[in-house]
Amino acid sequence: MENTQENKKGHLHPLSIITKDIVHIFAELGFTVAHGPEIENEYHNFDALNIPSYHPARDMWDTFWLKPAHTRKLLRTHTSPVQVRHMEKNSPPIRIIAPGKVFRHEATDATHEAQFYQIEGLMVDTNVSLAHLKWILETFFRKLFSQTVSVRFRPSYFPFVEPGVEIDMSCFKCGGSGCSVCKQTGWIEIMGAGMVHPHVLTSVGIDPEIYKGFAFGGGIDRLVLLKYGIEDIRLLYSGDLRLTNQF
Amino acid sequence: MKVSYTWLQEYFKEKLPPAQELAQLFTMYAFEVESVEKKDSDHIFDVKILPNRAHDCLSHRGIAREIGTLLSLKLLAEQKEHSHTSYKSSSCVIETEKKELSNRQSAAIIRGVSVKKSPAWLAHRLEALGQKSINNIVDATNYVMFSIGQPIHAFDLAHIHQKDGIYRLVIRDSKEGEVLEVLGGQECTLPQGVILISDENVGRDAILDISGILGSTRTEVTEKTTDLLILSANFNPVKIRTAAKKLGLRTEASVRFENGITTELTMEGLQDVCRLIVDIAGGNIEAIVDIQNTPYEERTITLAFSDIEALLGFSIERKQITSILRKIGCTVHEDGENCKVTVPAGRLDMAIKEDVIEEIGRVYGFFNVPPREPKMHTQKVVQSPQTICVESVARALVDDGFDEVYTYTFRDKGYVELQNPIARDKNFFRQTLITGIQESLVLNTHNALLLGLYDAVKIFEIGTVCSGEGEYTALCIGIVPVKKVKNTDEFIDSMCVEAIEAVGRALGITIENKKHNNGVWEINLSECFKRAPATDKIGHVLTSPTDVDQKYTVGEYVKYKKISPYPFMLRDIAIFVPEGVSDSDVSDLITKEGGELLVSQTLFNIFNKTTPDGVSKTSYAYKLVFQSQERTLSNDEITIIMQKVTNAMNSKDGWQVR
């Protein structure tokens, strides 16, 4: 009697699939993966990123603080501290991405989680500009979603970049004509980015008069939900194979 | 911030574009517009003012100036002359105990006002923004705040004491435990370091308000009020932010102060509000005081024209650059290859040359940035060993039939405790993946048959945990048998050992610790990575990136199907078919006859048999799973479907359901 159940392969979780895609696409563009801790200190998560404690922009990140309070330890609210940690130990030219888990102290619902994954990117060199950022991101999204998507920049603000931009991707589903995925706008808001702020470069000992850099960051979960049409972010952390085994 | 279209229109002679068009203009060039709501004859925008523009754009005039820049329109109000005379009065003294508490304070005394309901236009203005109309005096101060961004407070002068014909107020830091009753009637106990104003003629405990945040009932303007002290100051942003956070009081005033506003506004705000009060409440301005602790200094930023192209990555004509900067309100001096830019007082965000370049790019339109391919480096790109190892371990486990799960980091036990957990039982950072894996095993065992897992549920997670030694990457695997086996322990043990050996092979190391607890096994992967041989020996190092364009193809697109909340039903069917009939022939027929309630079918058994009369037959056995997205299925309806499948099978020549 032959049992057809044997040699059956298992399944990767969709977050792992997309992360793998991201890592490989960026490797082809010369970006390698950098790592950083999930338990961070205030300096790397905020101060070194030009977000001093009194800065109103701190309100953009609802933070989980750790005990004891005087240690000022926290769960990283974004993957941006990995930029700082990498630049502290490495000199330009730099091309890294940092996928990783981040935490936000907020109420959870179908589109919000207190834990989720982000992808961070950083390129520092003597000649780096917003135009290069656009090429890199457009190339990335075309490989991840479809050859037809394009990227546009809108004004935004993050204390660790200047200029700061919001990244919209043209809708991969409808091609820009408007559908439920893009809320009839033809565009999907997908990342934040900008040119690394001179204060950030200075704080890690890189001369902003010689080097420039771009940085970007966005949610991997959101890419997963968008790409596969999953309706609830919480499903990703439910440990439920009815999700995993569809992939 | 709520912004009224009608109000914005008042700044311009020209007719503004329709509200929706204006919203689109903001979105592409300035800020996101969360919503545009039609309210009577007006449209109210909910504009998300970015933190760097909160200095100058938390006001209608700020937004109007932005429109002026983007549409090349001149503002009517900008043509109005403002008096720059400095005022001193012998009847009112406002001192700051420490210079850093307030950069500037402008104040006025108005006598003989009549406090009453606001005129309709004023009440409507505030109500359109979702603000409550209180009385003509308070509304006038709020109106000026929403108009130019300067918070202003009105005190009832009758409750401030005069000594030798002089009012003496002091702006000072609070001491811990000082108490006052704030507007609304609540008693508020202050921590140390909150800016407040006290009446020196009465004594230091005579607290008149929490400066820049909220007034007190002591000097509240009521219908009985006839004389006013109006204060328009520039309080220290950091101190206001700290105090507002500690007190849990976030007001329209505190938000504006904590973001920082120019000192140039205090006198303008004071004059605007005095004019308005006299107009709608009567009275005479008796005294005006203006004290500058930190004189305003113009900011001039020098940049090279080449800096602009270096940062943005494309060139903009010089003429256009200077024109954009002038539209923003900058004074521009071209000096050979350089450009000296003096920024408008309100633009506290423009401090370094990158800020100026951002403004040029923004007004030019960031969407116009062209994509440019960066130069590729020729040296080899060496991927992080950890990334290669994690990918390799996951692949090995998937190849061995394991399914991957992600579970939650927050647990009720661990080494690292949160100060502010989201729930009482989620107060620790996980110290192990085991809890999550166990919960996942329970959940998935219920659904094993739906998932087509007939032997065992086999799962794994790779994730960060934190033990006594600190943070590391852990791997946990979990196995629960589904089918009945003679020796469960042996069954689990052999699967476990096989998986552990697969992990070891993937990393090129031997894993000694194979001790599992009833099919659950965890290991410190970070430790394993250290022992793994140099990654190039595993053979995953990436070579030159320049020519690898099409090397990697992304994961196949999968259309996710919503998980049904209703129970599933399982049926087996086995059939003899003539030799040569393939399983896909059988499977196609099942799909066709099973209909939309059939969610999966798994071939679980095949064998060939030759009957005594010499005929060779093949037996295929399938497990069919039925489930609806809308309801619980009944036994009867599945029996009917199964009958349909059986009939269709039996009607084929040589096919026979067993």
Q: For residue B463, what are the β-bridge partners?
A: B474
B296 touches chain A (CB under 8 A): no
| Residue B337 confidence (pLDDT) | 94
In a domain, A162, yes or no: yes
Quick check: is A118 catalytic? Answer: yes
| Residue B619 confidence (pLDDT) | 92
Q: How far apart are the first and last CA of chain A?
A: 29
Q: In which residue are the tokens 């980091």 written?
A: B409
| Residue B551 confidence (pLDDT) | 65
| Residue A3 confidence (pLDDT) | 42
- Among A241, A243, A246, the strongest candidate for a mutation testing the B interface, having the largest count of B CBs within 10 A, is A241
CB contact under 8 A, B242 and A108: no
Kindly report, residue by residue over A74-94, the tens digit of the pLDDT. Answer: 999 999 999 999 999 999 999
d(CA B22, CA B376): 41
How many beta-carbon contacts under 8 Å exist across A and B? 290
Of A65, A101, A246, the CB nearest to B560: A246
- Among B354, B359, B398, B416, the strongest candidate for a mutation testing the A interface, having the largest count of A CBs within 10 A, is B354
Radius of gyration in angstroms for the set of CA atoms belonging to chain A, rounded to a whole number: 19
| Residue B613 confidence (pLDDT) | 83
CB contact under 8 A, B444 and A239: yes
CB contact under 8 A, B311 and A195: yes
Confidence of residue A7 (pLDDT cuts 50, 70, 90): low
Of B31, B311, B367, the CB nearest to A129: B311
Residues B645 and B655 sit within 8 Å (Cβ to Cβ): no
Beta-strand pair A187-196/A161-170? antiparallel
CB contact under 8 A, A155 and B542: no
- Among B316, B350, B387, the strongest candidate for a mutation testing the A interface, having the largest count of A CBs within 10 A, is B387
In a domain, A176, yes or no: yes
Catalytic residue among A48, A61, A82, A98: A61
CB contact under 8 A, B50 and A155: yes
CATH number of residue A62's parent domain: 3.30.930.10
| Residue A60 confidence (pLDDT) | 84
Of A10, A35, A195, the CB nearest to B403: A10
Kindly report, residue by residue over A168-179, the tens digit of the pLDDT. Answer: 999 988 888 899
Quick check: is A246 catalytic? Answer: no
What residues in chain B have per-residue pLDDT under 50?
79, 81-82, 84, 536-550
Contacts of B398 in chain A (CB under 8 A): 9-12
Q: How many residues does chain B have?
A: 658
In a domain, A7, yes or no: no
- Among A15, A19, A54, the strongest candidate for a mutation testing the B interface, having the largest count of B CBs within 10 A, is A54
CB contact under 8 A, B420 and A32: no
Quick check: is A78 catalytic? Answer: yes
Contacts of B310 in chain A (CB under 8 A): 127, 129, 212
Mean pLDDT for the stretch of residues A173-199:
92
Of B453, B545, B602, the CB nearest to A28: B545
* Residue in chain A lying closest to B467 (CA): A39
d(CA B654, CA B571): 23
Shortest distance between the Cα of A233 and any Cα of chain B, in A, equals 12
Q: Which fold has domain B2-79?
A: Phenylalanyl-tRNA Synthetase; Chain B, domain 1 (3.30.56)
The domain total for chain A is 1
* Residue in chain A lying closest to B357 (CA): A163
Of A2, A27, A75, the CB nearest to B607: A2
Q: One fold for both B2-79 and B300-368?
A: yes
Q: For residue A157, what are the β-bridge partners?
A: none
| Residue B541 confidence (pLDDT) | 40
CB contact under 8 A, A156 and B50: yes
Return all residues near A129 (Cβ < 8 A) that are at least 6 apart. Answer: A195, A212, A214, B309, B310, B311, B312, B313, B314, B372
B394 touches chain A (CB under 8 A): yes
Whole-prediction pTM:
0.90
Of B384, B394, B605, the CB nearest to A1: B605
d(CA B617, CA B611): 8
Q: What is the CATH number of domain B92-292?
A: 3.50.40.10
Residues B330 and B343 sit within 8 Å (Cβ to Cβ): yes
Residues A44 and A63 sit within 8 Å (Cβ to Cβ): no
Range list of β-strands (E), B431-556: 456-467, 470-481, 520-524
| Residue B540 confidence (pLDDT) | 46
Contacts of B241 in chain A (CB under 8 A): 54, 56
Q: What is the DSSP string of A86-152?
A: HHHH-PSSEEEEEEEEEE-----BTTB-SEEEEEEEEEEESS--HHHHHHHHHHHHHHHT-TT--EE
CB contact under 8 A, B310 and A136: no
Give the helix ranges, DSSP H, for chain A: 14-28, 42-45, 80-89, 130-144, 198-203, 220-228, 241-244
Q: Please give the ipTM for the structure prediction.
A: 0.94
d(CA A64, CA A76): 8
pLDDT at A182 over 70: yes
Kindly report, residue by residue over B266-311, the tens digit of the pLDDT. Answer: 999 999 999 999 999 999 998 899 999 888 899 999 999 999 999 9
Of A1, A129, A245, the CB nearest to B451: A245
Mean pLDDT for the stretch of residues A91-111:
94
Q: Where are the domains of chain B?
A: 2-79, 92-292, 300-368, 385-545, 569-657
Superfamily of domain B385-545: Bira Bifunctional Protein; Domain 2 (3.30.930.10)
pLDDT at A6 over 70: no
| Residue B86 confidence (pLDDT) | 52
d(CA B438, CA B460): 10
Contacts of A159 in chain B (CB under 8 A): 51
- Among B409, B462, B560, the strongest candidate for a mutation testing the A interface, having the largest count of A CBs within 10 A, is B560
Contacts of A103 in chain B (CB under 8 A): 409
Half-sphere exposure of B280 (CA within 13 A, CB side): 22
Per the structure, the complete domain to which residue A173 belongs is given by 14-241
CB contact under 8 A, A195 and B354: yes
d(CA B363, CA B353): 16
Residues B141 and B273 sit within 8 Å (Cβ to Cβ): yes
CB contact under 8 A, B444 and A33: no
d(CA B658, CA B653): 15
In a domain, A47, yes or no: yes
Q: What is the CATH number of domain B569-657?
A: 3.30.70.380
Quick check: is A234 catalytic? Answer: no
d(CA B308, CA B291): 40
In a domain, A92, yes or no: yes
Query: What is the four-CA torsion angle of B545, B546, B552, B553, rounded to 10 degrees?
Result: 140
d(CA B168, CA B178): 20
Of B111, B120, B30, residue with least CA distance to B67: B30
Of A64, A105, A239, the CB nearest to B405: A239
B248 touches chain A (CB under 8 A): no
Q: What is the DSSP string of B169-217?
A: EEEEEPPTT-EEEBTTS-EEE--TT-EEEEETTT-TT-EEEETTTEEBG
d(CA B292, CA B85): 13
Quick check: is A204 catalytic? Answer: no
Q: How many residues does chain A have?
A: 247
In a domain, A204, yes or no: yes
Q: Which fold has domain B300-368?
A: Phenylalanyl-tRNA Synthetase; Chain B, domain 1 (3.30.56)
pLDDT at A25 over 50: yes
Catalytic residue among A78, A85, A95, A197: A78
Shortest distance between the Cα of B70 and any Cα of chain A, in A, equals 13
CB contact under 8 A, B406 and A75: no
Catalytic residue among A128, A151, A161, A200: A161
Quick check: is A242 catalytic? Answer: no
